[in-house]
């Protein structure tokens, strides 16, 4: 039986171990254990914290999911001003910078450190006695916003410091760095938002800024933020660093995620580093907009000091922007699957960073107004985040005299229905129930890989089917014939046959795919899966209450409302019924048909170190078992953790099979989850 002091020591050991593996995984990208092994450690810690809630401090790694939402961010006055950097753009700028330093210091050659200039947001973090206690945005350099709860959700940021190599935990440490989103994470984030019918982020920087400033940390926890640190602020109990390099190495021994850096000697050294990083910028997993050059020697830095808001010892050597100017030939409105109207600029084709760009998104009405882009304007376009080209700015001097501001349509340009603002006010949507533009997108989504996976039914064909009037609802897809298909432009007999075969094959599907295919706003693949588990039969959703839906895993109040309204809508019920009538058969999620838990009644008692009660229940149910609250002759097993009391006694009296935690975990592991 464990006691509090034992549990406390074990929790500490687990936190240290988890921090170590987090660092290996998120910072070094070289894990030493499997995800399953990591989960086991995490579960053991959760078990201890459940038993002894006083152990569940905010800096426990179990708390990364995000704490309570706030009304507003508090203000933080920085202990020392957060400086910014002067920019240089060319070799002349570099020469001036380097010469000035030589003159001021009287040295003939100076050692520098070069770091990627991360394109994110500056933040300051404070650790007290090794615990992460405060994190703030830069703000105006003097005062920033308290975003501690949001920063806690970033997995690569240690909540507690466990130094190695015999280094002592500093009494008070302030570190500064950058919050950003990796290119790959950005791509996935936008893909998910598109799937869920939400507006897309223009670039990783905007996505990072928006994510960090969420009032609900649970939202931030769902965003893939990364962090790199590159400087220290006023601290206590630190060793004296001779160089910036020593400082960065020291931060590494504390287990902190430190920015990349390389040494450079004199202006020539810097030039070489600049050429290397300019060539390598696209290969980096994150966006950089330049290279930061810093004097390495800390003593020299102090002597050099600062001018107004930037230090004399550092400079940002910017990369030439991947921007070009071109002309806006037209502004069009695109209608998405969920009816969102997105303004798109049609451009005179121009090469930006090696890629020809002929369209750029203007995101939404507010953005369009803010930038005041008009037909005929000369604009700068930038390839942002390697994904969506965007318009940076208009060149006012080149605006044609007769130019008129673009007026956002009040009605859908495709079906003519009224266009109305969303609840959150940013997106304007077509309200037409049978809008063909929405229908094309809906059909495409219905046929997409994670939905009914109808091979050959892409963008072009969806448009043809809708505009020819052959498809007015999803169910019409199942009534298509070879003859009707062959009436479409460029549709041969063979392709028609192939398409019909894949449509026919898509009838046998799963409830998860089926729910996803309906294109309900906010319902991506993961939500569809959770919904399918809770509602294995689609028609039970017609009568499900808002409360029933809110109980589904990860479904928040806004999402629950949208889902509830969707299934209440008679038109949607008709569509679903028509699909079922057309022979579409969504199989419920598989329930285990074999294994020790199928059809069994299990009672849980006492506490388990490795598994919380709720999780144990979920795992048993997934394996086809039922969890009951009290022991009777009908009970098949009792799982007895520590401190099991009367239920264990009753089980012994009745001769019910008793499992200890280890035996139970082995049984779980031996059976696959349904």
> What counts of helices (H) and strands (E) characterise the chain?
24, 26
Applying CB under 6 A, which of residues 7, 85, 465, 555 lies at the interface with ligand IVH?
A: 85
Residue span binding ligand IVH (CB under 6 A) among the ranges 59-67, 82-90, 564-572, 579-587: 82-90
- β-pairing, 323-335 vs 341-352, is antiparallel
Task: State the nearest-atom distance from the C-beta of 192 to ligand IVH, in Å.
Answer: 27
In the complex with ligand IVH, which residue's Cβ is closer, 119 or 160?
119
DSSP state of 232: E
Among residues 51, 103, 117, 539, the one annotated as catalytic is 117
Radius of gyration of the chain measured on its C-alpha atoms: 30
- β-pairing, 428-430 vs 508-510, is unpaired
CB under 8 A, 24+ apart: contacts of 480-483 = none
In the complex with ligand IVH, which residue's Cβ is closer, 317 or 597?
317
In the complex with ligand IVH, which residue's Cβ is closer, 230 or 514?
230
Q: Where does residue 465 fall: left (phi above 0), alpha (psi -120 to 50 degrees), or beta otherwise?
A: alpha
For ligand IVH, the binding residues in 216-245 under the rule CB under 6 A are 230-231
The answer to whether the beta carbons of residues 73 and 242 sit under 8 Å apart is no
User: 200: annotated binding-site residue?
Assistant: no
In the complex with ligand IVH, which residue's Cβ is closer, 14 or 291?
291
Task: State the nearest-atom distance from the C-beta of 261 to ligand IVH, in Å.
Answer: 8
Residue given tokens 């004199």 in the structure block: 266
Spatial distance between the Cα atoms of 61 and 45, rounded to a whole number of angstroms:
9
User: 279: annotated binding-site residue?
Assistant: no
Q: Where does residue 559 fall: left (phi above 0), alpha (psi -120 to 50 degrees), or beta otherwise?
A: alpha
Q: Is the dihedral of CA 508, 510, 514, 517 positive or negative?
A: negative
Binding mask 302-321 for ligand IVH (x = CB under 6 A): ---------x--x-x-----
DSSP state of 53: G
The answer to whether the beta carbons of residues 617 and 650 sit under 8 Å apart is no
Task: State the nearest-atom distance from the C-beta of 379 to ligand IVH, in Å.
Answer: 25
User: 435: annotated binding-site residue?
Assistant: yes
In the complex with ligand IVH, which residue's Cβ is closer, 137 or 635?
137
Task: State the nearest-atom distance from the C-beta of 294 to ligand IVH, in Å.
Answer: 7
Cβ-proximal residue to ligand IVH, closest one: 122
Spatial distance between the Cα atoms of 183 and 287, rounded to a whole number of angstroms:
7
Which pair of structure tokens corresponds to residue 195? 């799937």
Residue ranges with strand state E in 301-375: 306-307, 310-311, 314-318, 323-335, 341-352, 355-361
| Beta bridge partner(s), residue 605 | 640
Q: Is the dihedral of CA 568, 569, 570, 573 positive or negative?
A: negative
Task: State the nearest-atom distance from the C-beta of 666 to ligand IVH, in Å.
Answer: 49
Q: How far out from the chain centre does Cα 569 lie?
A: 31
- According to the binding rule CB under 6 A, does residue 145 interact with ligand IVH? no
User: 294: annotated binding-site residue?
Assistant: yes
User: 36: annotated binding-site residue?
Assistant: yes
Residue span binding ligand IVH (CB under 6 A) among the ranges 83-91, 183-191, 320-328, 580-588: 83-91
Binding mask 103-142 for ligand IVH (x = CB under 6 A): ------------x-xx---x---------------x----
The answer to whether the beta carbons of residues 124 and 176 sit under 8 Å apart is yes
In the complex with ligand IVH, which residue's Cβ is closer, 84 or 573?
84
Measured N-to-C along each axis, helices 570-581 and 557-568 cross at an angle, to the nearest 10 degrees, of 70
Number of residues binding to ligand IVH, judged by CB under 6 A: 16
For ligand IVH, the binding residues in 500-519 under the rule CB under 6 A are none
Binding mask 526-545 for ligand IVH (x = CB under 6 A): --------------------
Task: State the nearest-atom distance from the C-beta of 115 to ligand IVH, in Å.
Answer: 4
Residue span binding ligand IVH (CB under 6 A) among the ranges 49-57, 79-87, 97-105, 156-164: 79-87
Does residue 188 carry a catalytic annotation?
Answer: no
User: 214: annotated binding-site residue?
Assistant: no
User: 38: annotated binding-site residue?
Assistant: yes
Spatial distance between the Cα atoms of 657 and 301, rounded to a whole number of angstroms:
72
DSSP H or E run through 92: helix 91-105
Task: State the nearest-atom distance from the C-beta of 284 to ligand IVH, in Å.
Answer: 12
User: 138: annotated binding-site residue?
Assistant: yes
- According to the binding rule CB under 6 A, does residue 49 interact with ligand IVH? no
Contacts of 49 (CB under 8 A, 6+ apart): 11, 55, 56, 60, 62
User: 412: annotated binding-site residue?
Assistant: yes
For ligand IVH, the binding residues in 147-186 under the rule CB under 6 A are 178
In the complex with ligand IVH, which residue's Cβ is closer, 47 or 177?
177
Contacts of 436 (CB under 8 A, 6+ apart): 414, 415, 466, 467
Task: State the nearest-atom distance from the C-beta of 138 to ligand IVH, in Å.
Answer: 6
Residue span binding ligand IVH (CB under 6 A) among the ranges 62-70, 78-86, 188-196, 573-581: 78-86
Task: State the nearest-atom distance from the C-beta of 132 to ligand IVH, in Å.
Answer: 20
Spatial distance between the Cα atoms of 415 and 268, rounded to a whole number of angstroms:
63
Which pair of structure tokens corresponds to residue 526? 């993961």
User: 39: annotated binding-site residue?
Assistant: yes
Applying CB under 6 A, which of residues 40, 57, 63, 84 lies at the interface with ligand IVH?
A: 84
Spatial distance between the Cα atoms of 497 and 461, rounded to a whole number of angstroms:
14
Binding mask 258-297 for ligand IVH (x = CB under 6 A): -x--------------------------------x-----
| Beta bridge partner(s), residue 359 | 346
- According to the binding rule CB under 6 A, does residue 83 interact with ligand IVH? yes
Question: What are the CA-CA distances from residue 154 to residues 147, 188, 397, 488 (Å)?
Answer: 12, 17, 44, 51
In the complex with ligand IVH, which residue's Cβ is closer, 33 or 209?
209
Spatial distance between the Cα atoms of 565 and 496, rounded to a whole number of angstroms:
37
Residue span binding ligand IVH (CB under 6 A) among the ranges 77-85, 186-194, 449-457, 543-551: 77-85
Task: State the nearest-atom distance from the C-beta of 292 to ligand IVH, in Å.
Answer: 4
User: 168: annotated binding-site residue?
Assistant: no
For ligand IVH, the binding residues in 434-463 under the rule CB under 6 A are none
Task: State the nearest-atom distance from the C-beta of 119 to ligand IVH, in Å.
Answer: 7
In the complex with ligand IVH, which residue's Cβ is closer, 392 or 598?
392
User: 115: annotated binding-site residue?
Assistant: yes
Reported residue count of the chain is 674
Spatial distance between the Cα atoms of 497 and 486, rounded to a whole number of angstroms:
10
CA dihedral of residues 261, 266, 267, 272 (deg, nearest 10): -50
Which residues are known catalytic residues?
A: 117
Write out the binding residues.
35-39, 84-85, 115, 138, 178, 294, 318, 412, 415, 435
What are the residues binding ligand IVH (CB under 6 A)?
A: 83-85, 115, 117-118, 122, 138, 178, 230-231, 259, 292, 311, 314, 316
Write out the binding residues for NAD(+).
35-39, 84-85, 115, 138, 178, 294, 318
Write out the binding residues for Zn(2+).
412, 415, 435
């Amino acid at each position: 039986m464990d006691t509090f002091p034992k549990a406390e020591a074990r929790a500490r050991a687990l936190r240290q171990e988890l921090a170590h593996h987090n660092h290996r995984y998120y910072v070094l990208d070289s894990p030493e254990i499997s995800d399953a092994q990591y989960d086991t450690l995490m579960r053991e810690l959760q078990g201890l914290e459940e038993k002894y809630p006083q152990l569940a401090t905010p800096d426990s790694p179990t708390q990364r999911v995000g704490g309570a939402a706030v009304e507003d961010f508090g203000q933080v006055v920085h202990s020392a001003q957060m400086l910014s950097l002067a920019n240089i753009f060319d070799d002349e700028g570099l020469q001036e910078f380097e010469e000035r330093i030589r003159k001021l210091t009287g040295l003939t050659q100076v050692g520098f450190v070069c770091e990627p200039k991360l394109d994110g947001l500056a933040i300051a973090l404070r650790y007290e006695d090794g615990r992460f206690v405060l994190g703030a945005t830069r703000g105006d350099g003097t005062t920033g916003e308290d975003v501690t709860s949001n920063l806690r959700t970033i997995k690569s940021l240690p909540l507690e410091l466990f130094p190695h190599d015999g280094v002592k935990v500093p009494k008070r440490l302030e570190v500064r760095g950058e919050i950003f989103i990796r290119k790959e994470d950005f791509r996935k984030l936008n893909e998910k938002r598109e799937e869920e019918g939400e507006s897309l982020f223009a670039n990783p920087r905007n996505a990072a800024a928006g994510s960090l400033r969420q009032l609900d940390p649970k939202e931030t926890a769902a965003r893939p933020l990364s962090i790199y640190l590159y400087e220290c602020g006023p601290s206590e109990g630190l060793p004296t660093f001779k160089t910036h390099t020593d400082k960065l190495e020291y931060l590494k021994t504390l287990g902190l995620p430190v920015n990349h850096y390389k040494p450079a000697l004199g202006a020539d050294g810097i030039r070489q580093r600049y050429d290397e990083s300019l060539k390598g910028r696209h290969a980096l997993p994150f966006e950089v907009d330049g290279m930061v050059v810093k004097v390495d020697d800390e003593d020299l830095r102090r002597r050099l000091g600062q001018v107004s808001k930037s230090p004399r010892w550092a400079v940002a050597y910017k990369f030439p922007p991947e921007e070009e100017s071109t002309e806006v030939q037209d502004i069009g409105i695109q209608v998405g699957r969920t009816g969102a109207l997105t303004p798109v600029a049609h451009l005179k084709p121009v090469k930006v960073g090696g890629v020809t760009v002929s369209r750029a998104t203007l995101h939404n009405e507010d953005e369009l107004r803010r930038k005041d882009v008009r037909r005929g304007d000369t604009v700068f376009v930038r390839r942002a985040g390697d994904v969506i080209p965007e318009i940076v700015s208009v060149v006012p001097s080149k605006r044609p005299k007769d130019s008129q501001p673009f007026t956002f349509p009040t009605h859908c340009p495709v079906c003519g229905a009224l266009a109305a603002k969303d609840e959150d006010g940013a997106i304007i949507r077509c309200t037409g129930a049978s809008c063909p533009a929405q229908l094309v997108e809906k059909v495409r989504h219905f046929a997409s890989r994670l939905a009914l996976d109808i091979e050959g039914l892409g963008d072009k064909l969806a448009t043809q089917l809708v505009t020819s009037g052959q498809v007015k609802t999803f169910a019409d897809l199942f009534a298509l014939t070879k003859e009707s298909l062959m009436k479409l432009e460029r549709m041969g007999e063979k392709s028609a046959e192939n398409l019909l075969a894949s449509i026919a094959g898509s009838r046998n599907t799963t409830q998860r795919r089926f729910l996803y295919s309906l294109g309900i706003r906010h319902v991506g693949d993961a939500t569809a899966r959770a919904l399918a588990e809770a509602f294995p039969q689609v028609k039970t959703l017609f009568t499900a209450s808002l409360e029933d839906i809110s109980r589904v895993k990860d479904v928040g109040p806004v999402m629950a409302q949208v889902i509830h309204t969707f299934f209440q809508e008679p038109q949607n019920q008709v569509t679903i019924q028509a699909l079922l009538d057309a022979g579409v058969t969504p199989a419920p999620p598989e329930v285990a048909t074999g294994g020790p838990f199928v059809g069994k009644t299990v009672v849980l008692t006492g506490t388990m170190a490795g598994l919380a009660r709720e999780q144990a229940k979920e795992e048993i149910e997934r394996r086809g078992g039922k969890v009951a609250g009290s022991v009777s002759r009908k009970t098949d097993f009792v799982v007895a953790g520590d401190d099991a009391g009367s239920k264990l006694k009753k089980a012994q009296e009745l001769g019910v099979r008793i499992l200890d935690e280890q035996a139970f975990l082995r049984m779980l592991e031996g059976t696959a989850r349904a």
